[in-house]
Structure 1
Amino acid sequence: MSHMRDPGLLARDAEGLFWMARYFERVENLARLIDVTQSFESPGEETAAWWGLIRINADEKNFLERGFSVDATHVKRFYLLDRGNKTSIPASVEDARTNARTLRPLMSTEMWRQINVFQRFVSCITPEDLEGDALSRVCTKLKDGVQAHTGITQGTMYRDQGWYFYELGRFIERADQTTRMLDIKYTALLPQGAEEKRVAELTQWNAVLRAAAGYHAFKRLARAAFSPEDVVHFLLRDPSSPRSVLLCVRRTESHLDDLRRLYGLNAAGEAIEMAELLRELLVGKPLSHILATGLHDYLDLVQIHLQKLAAAIGRAFFRDWRPGIETPQEAAAVQETA
């Protein structure tokens, strides 16, 4: 049994680690979504493709209130340059670094140094970096920066209770973001002709797989003439795909169970029940039924369950759980369960 630290400090540290991991995961996934949105652009339909990104993040109100107009340039600026937008990449990196500063005693020198280098890179992104191929290069650097953070953390962070809270944040955010990647497919406008539509569908599903870093693994497993159902299964239910929602939920369950078993944190009970419910929601019904009745509504339901799971962890372990830094849907879900 490990020696317990001051519970007040531990609660604050647990919360900081949970959110730091979520913010970093959010940055990588937003970079992936921006990259895939650019690949969904078709001539004359750019605005629709980029507005799809705003809708998936439930940012419509926030976007318009901040004085932006509905066009591709403004959406890119909103997510890549606007520090005042809490859901932007610069704001998420700044929030991650603010948490990291309070967690300095729990972090390796390498972790802290890399976070600072990454934050400087993000603060230097310019409007010129958002045009054409330059945007894709920026997205690649953002993904690489978060992956460097994750690798350094995996390689240097002490495996105590703090590690489990970091991992809980990472997996919950990743599961949520995978549902958004799947959803972006359903906001994309498709051409009308049957053959045109089939080619566009394949191109778009391939783009979604690339966004979820699953293209090569999927190609290795899938039939040559794969169906949408195959892609949805891979991203929602494949037990070996690192970004599948099921793998993330199983890892979350396992970490919560370890916190209860190894550290005597019995308050994990409610969160474990929520994770079990979520796992049942993921594997309960045939995908053919879900696709026939509406994937978008199903993904919304999965997101609400993930938000309730995060809220259960917050109520059990964090000092002063308030729905202050979540998305609007998260705040609503927390209110529902309060």
Structure 2
Amino acid sequence: MTQQIPLLARYAESLFWMARYMERLENLARLVDVTQTFESPGLENEAWDSLIRIYANETHFAETHDGLEPDAVKRYYVLERQNPNSIISSIEAARMNARTLRPLISTEMWKHLNVFHRDLLQIAEHELQGDNLSRLCSRIKEGVQAHTGITEGTLFRDQGWHFYEMGRLIERADQTTRLLDIKFHRMLPKGSEDRRHEERTQWGGVLRAVAGYHAFRRIAPVEFLPQHVAGFLLTDPCFPRSVLLCLSQTEWHLTQLRTSYGLRGTRTALEQIEDMRAALLDRSAEQIISIGLHDFLDGMQRDLIGLAASVGDAFFRDWKPSLQQAQSQSQSTAQP
């Protein structure tokens, strides 16, 4: 059978956002786990403040909390529904989209997401403390990875699959740039002794936060420098979470939608990807750092927001990003 059934815009939108929320869920679990593991005695507040900055939640957190306490930040990112980036908010948004997608997704995907959702709703306060938090984060990461595996093995490879993958890849690239932006400037070593300490601990924590430590060590020199980490996360062509690879794969999915399904509206997004790739490859990591890594990553994040908007404008029902969505890339319209 070769007949292709047209994909409704609301289904394309829900697939895109379900993938984004699940990817965000795993990334947040990694960041919470790594933040606790590598927080320095006496500097706990600074470590957890970095997490707030990664998700651009400084204003919202200050409005809803009296002070910056590690326990408050942990609860904010795990249990609080008023935080659109929290683990609870993300899994509920993912399930809401999955409910819209019942005619498209497999029974296995739906069952697993429901069980996973129910499991996370039962998180207790004591699980946010000490080793319990690490075990909780591992459980969350494994739950998302199980979802990814089930999706890989059961989701029909039609137009919907391409929208699902684009959502996952754009979210992944965005999370990588945010992590690198905040962590790089907070951990630049100030001397030779600081350099050795950072290489052994904090830079390893950054790489573990993106599940890239072992991959990086396979290709990095023994005495690696911060620019080696930045270059790996930005432009490595083989690392699944590098910005360059995420953009290249997004480009492939857009091309497939145009050539295999005759979908118009991909031109703007494809041109944006070409511009972003040129920005990544025209300079070395050392040159990017010398002229200003923060400004470069800030521009890359804006470009990723623009790329998502181009996909939404072309294929979804009503893409109207608000200020909050520009900061955290939350879903633009409520799903039925």
Q: Tell me the TM-score normalised to structure 2 length.
A: 0.93
Paired position in structure 1 for 2:285: 287
- 1:31 and 2:29 are equivalent in the alignment: yes
| SS at 1:319 equivalent | coil
Superposed, 1:210-249 pairs within 5 Å as 210-249=208-247
1:177–1:217 distance in 2 versus 1, CA, 3 Å: same
The aligned amino acid for 1:305 is D
d(CA) in 2 for partners of 1:328, 1:126: 31
Partners of 1:190 and 1:201 within 8 A in 2: no
| SS at 2:250 equivalent | helix
1:200 equivalent among 198, 202, 208: 198
The aligned amino acid for 2:46 is A
The aligned amino acid for 1:73 is D
Q: How far does residue 266 in structure 1 lie from its aligned partner after superposition?
A: 1.4
Paired position in structure 2 for 1:302: 300
The aligned amino acid for 2:141 is K
- 1:252 and 2:250 are equivalent in the alignment: yes
Paired position in structure 1 for 2:40: 42
The aligned amino acid for 1:178 is T
The aligned amino acid for 2:159 is Q
1:231–1:187 distance in 2 versus 1, CA, 3 Å: closer
Paired position in structure 2 for 1:126: 124
Q: How far does residue 52 in structure 1 lie from its aligned partner after superposition?
A: 1.0
Q: How far does residue 318 in structure 1 lie from its aligned partner after superposition?
A: 0.2
1:202–1:320 distance in 2 versus 1, CA, 3 Å: same
Cα RMSD (Å) of the superposition? Answer: 1.9
Identity across matched positions, percent: 56
d(CA) in 2 for partners of 1:267, 1:147: 32
1:173–1:81 distance in 2 versus 1, CA, 3 Å: same
Spell out, residue by residue over 1:235-257, the C-alpha distance to the aligned partner (whole angstroms, 9 max, x if none): 11111101111000000011001
| SS at 2:266 equivalent | helix
Superposed, 1:1-338 pairs within 5 Å as 2-5=3-6, 10-186=8-184, 188=186, 194-324=192-322, 327-329=325-327
Q: How far does residue 179 in structure 1 lie from its aligned partner after superposition?
A: 1.1
Partners of 1:49 and 1:188 within 8 A in 2: no
The aligned amino acid for 2:218 is R
The aligned amino acid for 1:37 is T
d(CA) in 1 for partners of 2:187, 2:232: 23
d(CA) in 2 for partners of 1:88, 1:235: 24
1:330–1:45 distance in 2 versus 1, CA, 3 Å: closer
Q: How far does residue 82 in structure 1 lie from its aligned partner after superposition?
A: 0.3
Q: How far does residue 330 in structure 1 lie from its aligned partner after superposition?
A: 6.1
d(CA) in 2 for partners of 1:252, 1:292: 29
Say how many residue pairs are matched.
329
Q: How far does residue 88 in structure 1 lie from its aligned partner after superposition?
A: 0.7
d(CA) in 1 for partners of 2:170, 2:271: 15
d(CA) in 1 for partners of 2:66, 2:87: 17
| SS at 1:178 equivalent | helix
Q: How far does residue 110 in structure 1 lie from its aligned partner after superposition?
A: 0.6
Q: Tell me the TM-score normalised to structure 1 length.
A: 0.92
Partners of 1:15 and 1:318 within 8 A in 2: yes
Partners of 2:187 and 2:198 within 8 A in 1: no
1:180–1:79 distance in 2 versus 1, CA, 3 Å: same
Partners of 1:27 and 1:93 within 8 A in 2: yes
Spell out, residue by residue over 1:289-312, the C-alpha distance to the aligned partner (whole angstroms, 9 max, x if none): 111122222111111110000000
Q: How far does residue 70 in structure 1 lie from its aligned partner after superposition?
A: 1.0
1:310–1:279 distance in 2 versus 1, CA, 3 Å: same
d(CA) in 1 for partners of 2:175, 2:85: 13
| SS at 2:230 equivalent | helix
Q: More displaced, 103-112 or 182-191?
A: 182-191
Spell out, residue by residue over 1:75-116, the C-alpha distance to the aligned partner (whole angstroms, 9 max, x if none): 101000101211111001000000000101101111001101
d(CA) in 2 for partners of 1:21, 1:207: 25
Partners of 1:48 and 1:188 within 8 A in 2: no
The aligned amino acid for 2:15 is L
Q: More displaced, 129-138 or 167-176?
A: 129-138
